[in-house]
C-alpha cells in the first residue's frame, strides 16, 4: 500500500510535508521551470513587505563551509505588486500558497497580513519576525518575548481566514519560551529555524565579504542546530499544544527531512538545497515516500516525534 | 522572467589544460540543446557526480532507495552551490554532432574539481542561462575585450560575428604571458606600446588577437584598455561595436572609453556571486541607470543579464570576486 | 625582517597568538608526540572539575556536515589528579599553561580556580561557564547575566596570580551584554566561542545518535557564527575595555586564524582541527608568520581588529 | 599514555576491489615503520590529498605560502575527521621491501574516497595506533573470529600465530556470500549446520576458514557463533585461545561462549567513534570491569585498546556504528 503523505498544518491540508523555504524559491515561476509546483505540500514565497525593497548592497551572498551566508536585505516587490503581479499566477498552481511577511513596525506587519488574508489564494501567512524592531531600537521582534507577543497578537487579530504561522529565529538563548509565547499569542504553526547570525572575512583583502558585513547562515552546516531546536520545541511546547512545527535548516535529502519529522516536525521546508538543485523539494517528497514504504509507515504524520529513546 | 534553463547531465568529450591555470572542456551537446553567445551554465562541482556513482558506492542521490544513511551524515565531496561558467562556444563536429566548449580558470575548489574531470565523466549543468550578446549591434568592426577567463564567452561570440561578416578583433589582458590559455604561434614577444594583432590562433577560428600583459612580457605592456587605445590610435574609433567580459574594474574602464569616444554600443558581460542562477536568491543584483528618484533600478545578472549595455550599468566595483 | 608574533593576553606574554582549544588537546603529552608544545602561544587543557568525572555514555561524538557534535560530558581526571599527575609534566614544557575550569556551583568554580591559582605553573584560568548551574535550575551560568556575574566575580576574588579568562557560550540572544558583564566582573580576557547546541539523528534507526541526545557543534561549520561574535564583542566591548579576545570556532588553516584576528581577536585557539591533524596548531603559526611577512605587517598584534571598512 | 603514532604519507602500491563492497589496499611501508597485529591507522580521507595537489591546483595546505584565499573559503572535498582502519597485515615482498595491507569496507564517504585511490597516490595516515593482540596468550589452538571488515586485523594476526606454531582457524560471519572479500576456491556452497573449513585462501596464507552466512548461501547457516559452536562440537574447546573483531553484538556473543566454556583468553578488538585516535577527544570510552563502587573504569579504545580481554569489557552494544 502506498503510504499517505498528507499532513495538516493549521487549516491547511498539505498533499505532503515538503514546502519551499521563504527567500529561496522566489514567487514561483522560477522553480516551475523545473517541476510542477503541485508536487509540493505548499509553496512559501519570498518575504513581502509593505513597500518594495531593493535590498542590501552586493555582495549579498557568500559560500562558507557547507553553508551560505546571505544578507539579501528582504529585497522584494512590495505588497501591492505581489498582489497584482505575483499572487494571481501562484494561486492557479494547485498548491497551497503561504506568504512570508516581514516588517519593521507592528503596524506594517498588521497591514500586510490583513491585506494578504483578504486576498483569495493565500492559504497561510508566515510571519518572519527576524526583522529589526525599529521601535525597540533594532532588536529583532523574534528575539524578545514582549516584541514577539506584541507583533503576533496584533497580526492574530487581523487575520481571519489564512493559517497564521510564526517563523522563529535561532539566535536566542532559549527558543522554548519564545515558541510558547508565539503559540499563546495565536500562532497556528511554528516554522523553525531562520538563519544563524554569521560573518565571513576575506583575509587577503582584509574586508568583510558581505557588503552588509554580517548575514544569515543557512545550509547543511546549521542542520544540527535546527534539529535540536525542533526537538526542544516539540517536546516542550508543540506536542502538548498540538501545534505543528515546520522544520527548516540544512535539509538537502529525504533523510534530512525524515530526521526533522522524527525530531517533531510535521512538515519541512527546503531552502539552500534548492539553489544546488532546483528540483530538490520534489526529490525529497519521493525519497520520503520510499522511506515510509521501506519502513512500513502508513502515514507521513506517523513520523512526527517518533524518535525512539 | 522564469528561466528557460533545464538541468542536463552533459558528457565530457575532452579536457585539456592550458596556460598556467586553465582547462578547456568540451561537452557533448544534446540534440535539443540551444544556446547563444553570452549565455552560461551553472555547474554542480562534486566528486564523483551523483550520476557517476559506481555500483560499489553508497547511493546518496536525493531519490536513492532506502535505507541509505549509516549513522553518519554523508559528507559530500562538493562545493555547496553551483559554479557559473560561460558557454565559450557551441561547435559542430565534422561528424555532425555538436559540442559545448568551456574554458575554466582554476582558482578554487569548484574549478579544481572541474579540472579533474575526465572524458566520459558527466557534468550536472543548469543551462543555458541568461540573455545573450546582441549580434546585431551597429558597427562594421567588432572589438571583443576580455581579461582572464573573461575571454571565454568572446570565443563563440567572435565566431558568430565573423559569420555575420563583421571585422572582428579580440583584445586580451592578463597579468603575464603564462596566464594566456590560447595556442599562440611561437616567437611572440613584447610589443611595448604598439598593438600588434596576432593571427592564426586556432581557438579563435582566425580572428586576430591583441595581447596586453601587465608585466609587458607579451604584447602591449599594460592593461587591456592600453592595448585598445594603441590599436584605436592606428585604426580610429569609427564604426566600432564593443563587447567585453572581465572584472568590473576592466569593464568600467572600457565603459569610460566608450563614453569618451561616444561609441553607439558596448555590451558587457557582468558578474556577481550566483547563489542560484535561476532568479530566486537575489544575490546577483546590479544597478542599472533609470529615470527614477534613486537613479537606478535593480537588475539581476543571472536573469536580466549577464549581458548589459555598458552605458546603463552603474559599475560599483565592489565585487571583483570571480575573475581574479 | 621577521614579523613579531608575540601577543599579550592579560598577564601572559604569548610567543605567538595560537593556542590549543580546551577539550581537544588533552593534558599535553598526546599532542607532544607530534610537535614541541613550546611552538604554541599557550596550551589550554581539558576542563578540570573538582571531582573526577567519567563523562557521558557513548556515543559521545558524531560527525556532521563540516562539523563535529560532541557530548563528552566534561570527562576529566578531577582537580587532585590534575595537580598531582598532569600539571607537573605540563609546566616543564616551556609554554604558558591555561587550565579550563568547569563546575556546577559557584563554590566548585571557586575552589578549583583557587587551587589552580596557587599551583605553580598555571599561567591562566579559563572559566568554562557553559555548564548547567544546578542552583538555578540547570540554565547554564553563561546564558544568564546574573549567573555569569555571580560566578565570575566569585572566582575573581579567589584568583590572584593567574590571568582570568572567561569563555563564553554562543547560545545566547546577544553575546555583547554577557561579554560586558564578564569584563565588569573581572575577566582579563574573553574566549569565544564554545560549541553551538545541536543534535543529530539516525533516520534508519530512528534514534538520536548521541547517547546524550544533544551535544555541542564545533568545526568549520560554525566558523561564520564565531567570527561574527568576535567582531561584535570587539567593536562593542573589548576594544574600548582593552580586553583581549581569544577567538575559537572552526579554525583549520592560517587564513582562518587571520580572519579571527582581523575581526578583533588577539589570539586564537585550534580545536576540532587538531583531530584532523594533530600538528594543525603549529602549522597555523607558520602560515600566520608567512601572511604577516607577505602583507608587510611587523607584528601579529597589528592584525587585531584591522578589518577595512 | 601518549601515542607512539606518527603522521605518515604512505604511497599506495595496489588497490583491488573484492566482494560486493570491499577494497584491498597495499601501502609502501617506510623503513622505520613498525606495527603489530591489532594496531590501526587513522586515515585522512580527502580528494585529492594535500600532498597530491598538482602544481595547477590552489595550494590549501595549512602552511602554503600567501596569499591563497580568493574571497570564498576553500571547501575541501573531504570528510572532516579521519577514519580508523586496522592494519590488516605487514608483509615482506620478495624484493625485500615491506607493504602494509588494508582491507576497507565501502560504507560511506570516507571509505568511498579510499576506494577511489590509485597506485601512486599517497594516504595521510596517523599510526600505528593502539595496543596489539597478545600473541602469547595461552592455547595451542587459536580461533580467530571476525565479521564484516572485522576480518581485517585477523589476517596478519593469523599469519603471526601460524609463525609461532599455533594451529590457527579463522571464522568469518557475513550476511551473504557476496559480502566476503576473500578469494575463495570455486565450488563452495552451503554446509547447513556443519562447520567445513575451507583451505587454500591466498589472502590468509594457508589458514583454514570456517564461513557462516546469515542467509545460508555459503558455509554454516547462521551467525559466526553458530559456526564456532559447530566447529567446537567437532573438535572440542580444549586448549583454545580466542581472538575476535567485529560489532559489539558479535563480540558480546563470543564473550558469552568464552564464559560458558571457561576459556582462559579471548582478546577482542573493540570499536567506537574515533574523533582523534590520539587520546584527546575522549569519544571512544569503553567500560572495563573494576573493583570499585561503579563496577567499572573508563578506558579509551584508541589508546588503551583497541584490544581488550573479552571478560573485562562491559559490552553495551550501544554503538554498532562502524562495522555494519
Ligand atoms: C556569468 C558568469 C560567467 C562565468 N564564466 C566563467 C568562465 O567561462 N570561465 C571561468 O573560469 N570562470 C567563469 N566565471 C567565474 C567562475 O564562476 C568562478 O571562477 C568560479 O565560481 C570559482 O569557483 P571555485 O570554487 O573554483 O573558486 P572559489 O574559491 O570558490 O571562488 C573563487 C572566486 O570565484 C567566485 N565564485 C565562487 N562561486 C561563485 C558563484 N557561485 N558565482 C559567482 N562567483 C563565484 C568567488 O566569489 C571567488 O571570488 C563566471 C562567472 C560568472 C558570474
Ligand atoms: C579501531 C577500528 C578499526 C577499524 N578497522 C577497519 C578496517 O580495517 N576496515 C574497515 O573497512 N573498517 C574498519 N573500521 C571501521 C571504519 O572506521 C568505518 O567503516 C569508517 O570510518 C567509515 O567511514 P565512512 O566515511 O566510509 O562512512 P560513514 O558513513 O562516515 O560512517 C559509516 C560508519 O562508520 C562509522 N565511522 C565513521 N567515522 C568513524 C570514525 N572516525 N571512527 C569510528 N567509526 C567511524 C560511523 O559511525 C558509521 O557507523 C574500523 C573502526 C575502528 C574503530
Ligand atoms: C538567500 C536567502 C534568502 C532568504 N530570505 C528569507 C526571507 O525572505 N524570509 C524568511 O523568513 N527567511 C528567509 N531565508 C531563510 C530560509 O527561509 C531558511 O529559514 C534558512 O535558509 C534555513 O534553511 P536552509 O538551510 O534549508 O536554507 C532566506 C534564506 C536564504 C539563503
Ligand atoms: C570533543 C570536544 C571537547 C571539548 N571540551 C571542552 C571543554 O572541556 N571545555 C571547554 O571550554 N570547551 C570544550 N570544547 C569546546 C572547544 O574548546 C571549542 O570552543 C569549540 O570546539 C569550537 O572550536 P573548534 O571549532 O575549533 O573545535 C570541546 C570541544 C570538543 C570538540
Ligand atoms: S544568482 Fe540567484 S538570483 Fe541571480
Ligand atoms: S578517539 Fe579521541 S580519545 Fe580515542
What span, in angstroms and rounded, lies between the C-alpha atoms of C151 and C185? Answer: 9
| Cα dihedral D226, D229, D230, D236 in deg (nearest 10) | 170
| Chain C residues in contact with chain B using a Cβ-Cβ cutoff of 8 Å | 62-66, 200, 202-205, 209
What span, in angstroms and rounded, lies between the C-alpha atoms of B187 and B200? Answer: 13
Please give the backbone phi and psi of residue B19, each rounded to the nearest 5 degrees, phi first. 60, -160
Domain containing D161 — which CATH number?
3.40.50.80
Q: Which residues of chain C are modeled with pLDDT < 70?
A: none
Kindly tell me if the per-residue pLDDT of D321 is higher than 80.
no
Domain hosting residue C283, numbered range: 7-55+73-198+218-303
Domain containing D81 — which CATH number?
2.40.30.10
Question: What H or E segment, with its residue span, contains residue A294?
Answer: helix A280-294
Residues B148 and B267 occupy one common structural domain: yes
Residues B71 and B216 occupy one common structural domain: no
Best A60, A63, A253 member to test D by mutation, with max D CBs in 10 Å, is A63
Give D74→chain A minimum CA distance, Å: 8
Is residue C266 a part of any domain in this protein? yes
pLDDT of residue D80: 85
Is residue A57 within 8 A of residue A106, CB to CB? The reply is: no
| Chain B residues in contact with chain C using a Cβ-Cβ cutoff of 8 Å | 66-67, 69-73, 75-76
Which residues, in sequence order, are bridge partners of residue C207?
Answer: A308, C202
Residues with CB under 6 A from ligand 1: B 40, 79, 81, 83-86, 103-105, 107-111, 149, 152, 271, 273-274, 306, 321-323; D 70-72
Is residue B179 a part of any domain in this protein? yes
Is residue D323 a part of any domain in this protein? no
Is residue B255 a part of any domain in this protein? yes
Is residue D288 a part of any domain in this protein? no
What was the ipTM of the complex prediction?
0.92
What is the count of structural domains for chain D? 2
Residues B115 and B184 occupy one common structural domain: no
Is residue C137 a part of any domain in this protein? yes
pLDDT of residue B8: 94
**Helix and strand element counts for chain C (H, E):** 11, 16
Domain end point (choices D75, D98, D129): D129
Starting at the edge strand that comes first in sequence, how are the strands of the sheet with C196-199 ordered? C61-64, C67-70, C214-218, C196-199
Residues D114 and D148 occupy one common structural domain: no
Residue closest to D246 by CA, chosen among D229, D220, D264, D271? D271
Give D36→chain C minimum CA distance, Å: 19
Is residue A12 a part of any domain in this protein? yes
Residues with Cβ < 8 Å from B163, sequence gap 6 or more?
Answer: none
Is residue B290 a part of any domain in this protein? no
Is residue B281 a part of any domain in this protein? no
Q: How many CB atoms lie within 10 A of CB D7?
A: 15
Burial group, residue B141, by CB count within 10 angstroms (0-12, 13-18, 19+): middle
| C-alpha D109 chain-centroid distance | 18
Residues B125 and B225 occupy one common structural domain: no
Domain end point (choices B129, B159, B175): B129
What span, in angstroms and rounded, lies between the C-alpha atoms of B25 and B15? Answer: 5
What span, in angstroms and rounded, lies between the C-alpha atoms of C14 and C8? Answer: 6
Is residue D51 within 8 A of residue D9, CB to CB? The reply is: yes
Q: Is the dihedral of CA D272, D275, D279, D283 positive or negative?
A: negative
Residues D49 and D181 occupy one common structural domain: no
Is beta strand B190-192 parallel, antiparallel or unpaired with respect to B89-92?
Answer: unpaired
Residues B146 and B266 occupy one common structural domain: yes
Is residue D125 a part of any domain in this protein? yes
What span, in angstroms and rounded, lies between the C-alpha atoms of A54 and A219? Answer: 24
Collapsing DSSP to helix, strand or coil, B110 comes out as helix
Residues with Cβ < 8 Å from A36, sequence gap 6 or more?
Answer: none
What is the Cα Rg of chain C in Å? 18
Residues B265 and B155 occupy one common structural domain: yes
Is residue A278 a part of any domain in this protein? yes
Domain end point (choices D80, D101, D129): D129
Residues B97 and B172 occupy one common structural domain: no
Residues B71 and B200 occupy one common structural domain: no
Is beta strand A196-199 parallel, antiparallel or unpaired with respect to A214-218?
Answer: antiparallel
What span, in angstroms and rounded, lies between the C-alpha atoms of B244 and B224? Answer: 11
Is residue D301 a part of any domain in this protein? no
Q: Print pLDDT tens along chain A (309 aa).
A: 799 999 999 999 999 999 999 999 999 999 999 999 999 999 999 999 999 999 999 999 999 989 999 999 999 999 999 999 999 999 999 999 999 999 999 999 999 999 999 999 999 999 999 887 777 777 789 999 999 999 999 999 999 999 999 999 999 999 999 999 999 999 999 999 999 999 999 988 899 999 999 999 999 999 999 999 999 999 999 999 999 999 999 999 898 999 999 999 999 999 999 999 999 999 999 999 999 998 999 999 999 999 987
Domain containing C222 — which CATH number?
3.20.20.70
pLDDT of residue D318: 64
Residue C21 is classified by DSSP as P
Q: How many CB atoms lie within 10 A of CB B192?
A: 12
Q: Print pLDDT tens along chain B (324 aa).
A: 445 789 999 999 999 988 888 999 999 999 999 999 999 999 998 754 433 333 233 333 334 433 333 222 233 345 789 999 999 999 998 888 999 999 999 887 788 888 888 898 899 999 999 999 999 999 899 999 998 889 999 999 999 999 999 999 999 998 888 778 898 898 889 998 999 999 989 888 888 999 999 999 999 999 999 999 999 999 999 999 999 998 888 888 999 999 999 999 999 999 899 999 999 999 999 999 999 998 999 999 999 999 999 999 998 866 555 433
Domain hosting residue B15, numbered range: 6-129
Q: What Cα–Cα distance (Å) separates residue A38 from each residue in B2, D82, D311? A: 17, 43, 60
Best C203, C211, C224 member to test B by mutation, with max B CBs in 10 Å, is C203
Confidence (pTM) = 0.93
What is the count of structural domains for chain A? 1
Is residue A236 a part of any domain in this protein? yes
Is residue A61 within 8 A of residue B319, CB to CB? The reply is: no
Is beta strand D240-245 parallel, antiparallel or unpaired with respect to C61-64?
Answer: unpaired
What span, in angstroms and rounded, lies between the C-alpha atoms of C258 and C268? Answer: 9
Is beta strand A61-64 parallel, antiparallel or unpaired with respect to B141-147?
Answer: unpaired
Give A146→chain B minimum CA distance, Å: 32
Q: Is A216 a known active-site residue? A: no
Is residue B111 within 8 A of residue B138, CB to CB? The reply is: no
Kindly tell me if the per-residue pLDDT of D268 is higher than 60.
yes
Residues D66 and D167 occupy one common structural domain: no
pLDDT of residue A135: 76
Residues D105 and D219 occupy one common structural domain: no
Amino acid at each position: 500500500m502506498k503510504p499517505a503523505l498528507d499532513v495538516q498544518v493549521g487549516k491547511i491540508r498539505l498533499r505532503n510535508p515538503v514546502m519551499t523555504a521563504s527567500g529561496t524559491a522566489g514567487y514561483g515561476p522560477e522553480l516551475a521551470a523545473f517541476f510542477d509546483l503541485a508536487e509540493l505540500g505548499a509553496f512559501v514565497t519570498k518575504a513581502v513587505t509593505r513597500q518594495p525593497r531593493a535590498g542590501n548592497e552586493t555582495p549579498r551572498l557568500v559560500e562558507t563551509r557547507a553553508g551560505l551566508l546571505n544578507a539579501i536585505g528582504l529585497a522584494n516587490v512590495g505588497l501591492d505588486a505581489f498582489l497584482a503581479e505575483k499572487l494571481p499566477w501562484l494561486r492557479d498552481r494547485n498548491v497551497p500558497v503561504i506568504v512570508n511577511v516581514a516588517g519593521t513596525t507592528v503596524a506594517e506587519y498588521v497591514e500586510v497580513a490583513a491585506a494578504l488574508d483578504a486576498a483569495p489564494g493565500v492559504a497561510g501567512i508566515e510571519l518572519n519576525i527576524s526583522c529589526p524592531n525599529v521601535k525597540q531600537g533594532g532588536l529583532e521582534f523574534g528575539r524578545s518575548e514582549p516584541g514577539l507577543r506584541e507583533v503576533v497578537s496584533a497580526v492574530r487579530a487581523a487575520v481571519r481566514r489564512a493559517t497564521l504561522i510564526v517563523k522563529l529565529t535561532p539566535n536566542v538563548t532559549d527558543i522554548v519560551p519564545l515558541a510558547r509565547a508565539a503559540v499563546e499569542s495565536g500562532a497556528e504553526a511554528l516554522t523553525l529555524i531562520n538563519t544563524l547570525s554569521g560573518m565571513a572575512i576575506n583575509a587577503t583583502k582584509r574586508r568583510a565579504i558581505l557588503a552588509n558585513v554580517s548575514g544569515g547562515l543557512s545550509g547543511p552546516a546549521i542542520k544540527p542546530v535546527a534539529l535540536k531546536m525542533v526537538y526542544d520545541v516539540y517536546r516542550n511546547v508543540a506536542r502538548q499544544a498540538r501545534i505543528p512545527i515546520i522544520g527548516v535548516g540544512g535539509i538537502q535529502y529525504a533523510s534530512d527531512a525524515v530526521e526533522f519529522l522524527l525530531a517533531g516536525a510535521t512538515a519541512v521546508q527546503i531552502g539552500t538545497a534548492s539553489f544546488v538543485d532546483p528540483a530538490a523539494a520534489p526529490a525529497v517528497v519521493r525519497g520520503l515516500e520510499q522511506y515510509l514504504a521501506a519502513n512500513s509507515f502508513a502515514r507521513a504524520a506517523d513520523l512526527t516525534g517518533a524518535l525512539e529513546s | 522572467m522564469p528561466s528557460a534553463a533545464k538541468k542536463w547531465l552533459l558528457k565530457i568529450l575532452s579536457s585539456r589544460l592550458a596556460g598556467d591555470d586553465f582547462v578547456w572542456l568540451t561537452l557533448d551537446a544534446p540534440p535539443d540543446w540551444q544556446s547563444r553567445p553570452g549565455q552560461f551554465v551553472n555547474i554542480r562541482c562534486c566528486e564523483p557526480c551523483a550520476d557517476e556513482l559506481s555500483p560499489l558506492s553508497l547511493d546518496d542521490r536525493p531519490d536513492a532507495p532506502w535505507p541509505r544513511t549509516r549513522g553518519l551524515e554523508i559528507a559530500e565531496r562538493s562545493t555547496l552551490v553551483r559554479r557559473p561558467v560561460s558557454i565559450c562556444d557551441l561547435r559542430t563536429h565534422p561528424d555532425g554532432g555538436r559540442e559545448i566548449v568551456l574554458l575554466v580558470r582554476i582558482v578554487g575548489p569548484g574549478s579544481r574539481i572541474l579540472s579533474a574531470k575526465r572524458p566520459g565523466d558527466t557534468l550536472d549543468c543548469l543551462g543555458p542561462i541568461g540573455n545573450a550578446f546582441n549580434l546585431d549591434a551597429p558597427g562594421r568592426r567588432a572589438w571583443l575585450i576580455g581579461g582572464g577567463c573573461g575571454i571565454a564567452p568572446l570565443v563563440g561570440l567572435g565566431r558568430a560575428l565573423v559569420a555575420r561578416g563583421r571585422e572582428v578583433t579580440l583584445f586580451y589582458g592578463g597579468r603575464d604571458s603564462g596566464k594566456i590559455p590560447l595556442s599562440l604561434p611561437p616567437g611572440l614577444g613584447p610589443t611595448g606600446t604598439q598593438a600588434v594583432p596576432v593571427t592564426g590562433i586556432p581557438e579563435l577560428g582566425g580572428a586576430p588577437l591583441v595581447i596586453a600583459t601587465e608585466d609587458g612580457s607579451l604584447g602591449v605592456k599594460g592593461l587591456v584598455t592600453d592595448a585598445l587605445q594603441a590599436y584605436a590610435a592606428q585604426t580610429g574609433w569609427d564604426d566600432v561595436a564593443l563587447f567585453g567580459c572581465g572584472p568590473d574594474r576592466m569593464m568600467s574602464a572600457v565603459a569610460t572609453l566608450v563614453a569618451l569616444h561616444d561609441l553607439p554600443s558596448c555590451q558587457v558581460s557582468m558578474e556577481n556571486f550566483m547563489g542560484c542562477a535561476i532568479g530566486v536568491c537575489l544575490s546577483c543584483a546590479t544597478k542599472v541607470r533609470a529615470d527614477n528618484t534613486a537613479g537606478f533600478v535593480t537588475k539581476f545578472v543571472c536573469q536580466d543579464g549577464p549581458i548589459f549595455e555598458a552605458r546603463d550599468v552603474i559599475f560599483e566595483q565592489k565585487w571583483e570576486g570571480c575573475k581574479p
